[in-house]
Amino acid sequence: MDTELKNDDFHNVAIFIDYENVHKTLLDSNTNAIREGFFEKLKIWCKDHNRRIVKIVVYCNFDNKDLYESHHQSFLQSYGVETVHTSNQGKNFADLKLAIDVLNSMYTNNNIDEFIIMSNDKDMTPLLNTVRANKRKASILTTGDLYNSVLCEFADEQIKFEDIISSVDNDHLIINDIEQKFLSDIRKYVDGSISSYEENGKQDYKRHYNVDYFSEQQSSYYNVMRYEILNIINLLYKNGDILFYNHIYRGSNTLAIVPAIHKEYFISNDIIRVEDLCEGDSLIKDMIKESYDSYKQKPTK
């Protein structure tokens, strides 16, 4: 059943997101809400569709390894998103908490015209029914193709994550800002290392940025998942902003990065040799996939 609010004026909408479910669904496709620019695009999409956002609330166990390591809860709050940490009390607790908060908002705030529930779970159908019975619009926002079709039968409107992502053109995403800051920072790091190297009479250049270690270290610094740091490194490599080279560390061959603007200095001062430079495309892609896979939920036997 698809019923639009009948006037062209902006109407108030509250958005409640089963974020743990959404995150796991996207992770299975080797992506995530931050990489897709979901929250930036959601706000634009709502404005384009005459919706004024009253609140966005996400429910998630932020102790999940990739979310915990990257301080993801704090990162979401930087979007102006309310976060509810459901700890490890189980999926039913998260669903119940979301439902209680929707009902509380509905009964205490007559100014909310529409409730958008982002979930693929058919357990949300009683909640959708209750919202509609109270003469509010109930919409379901689904992710991917694994949502339960029953959900859509109980909603006034189905909105698809993929439609929001593809229909909104927004070049200013937070992840792009992080990419540029990462490039600026590593240039500064190398500038500092070169200064120390020259002050030491150009003896034994010490700071080589090993991709494996550096990506793990920078994850918590930028508050993004490790696979996103690796994605950023890959994109900067494709753009010609950084280069890969082979570096021996503790007897093992490792993949290291250097800003392209420092290439000639490194070679002319014998910090690296021309033959050390390498095509890192396949290696970095393997590292990205390995990082994604390490966080995916393992199937139970």
pTM score, whole prediction: 0.88
**Which pLDDT score, from 0 to 100, does residue 6 have?**
52
> Is 151 in the same domain as 230?
no
Residue that finishes a domain, picked among 105, 135, 167 = 167
Q: Residue ranges of the chain with pLDDT lower than 50?
A: 1-3, 299-301
- How many domains is the chain partitioned into structurally? 2
> Is 222 in the same domain as 289?
yes
Residue type, 168: V
> Is 135 in the same domain as 273?
no
> Is 130 in the same domain as 213?
no
> Is 44 in the same domain as 144?
yes
Does 290 reside within a domain?
yes
Query: Could you tell me the two tokens for 278?
Result: 């390498």
- Contact between residue 275 and residue 217 where contact means Cβ atoms under 8 Å apart: no
- Contact between residue 233 and residue 256 where contact means Cβ atoms under 8 Å apart: no
Q: For residue 190, what are the domain limits?
A: 174-295
> What pLDDT digit, counting tens, does each position of 258-270 carry?
999 999 999 999 9
**Which pLDDT score, from 0 to 100, does residue 249 have?**
83
Distance (Å, rounded) from C-alpha 153 to C-alpha 1?
A: 6
Task: Output the CA–CA distances (angstroms, integers) from residue 198 to 188, 193, 221, in the order listed.
Answer: 15, 9, 28
> Is 128 in the same domain as 203?
no
CA torsion sign for 234, 146, 114, 72 is: negative
**Which pLDDT score, from 0 to 100, does residue 148 have?**
80
**Which pLDDT score, from 0 to 100, does residue 90 have?**
65
> What pLDDT digit, counting tens, does each position of 43-98 carry?
999 999 999 999 999 999 999 999 999 999 999 998 899 999 998 776 678 889 99
**What are residue 80's phi and psi, to 5 degrees?**
80, 25
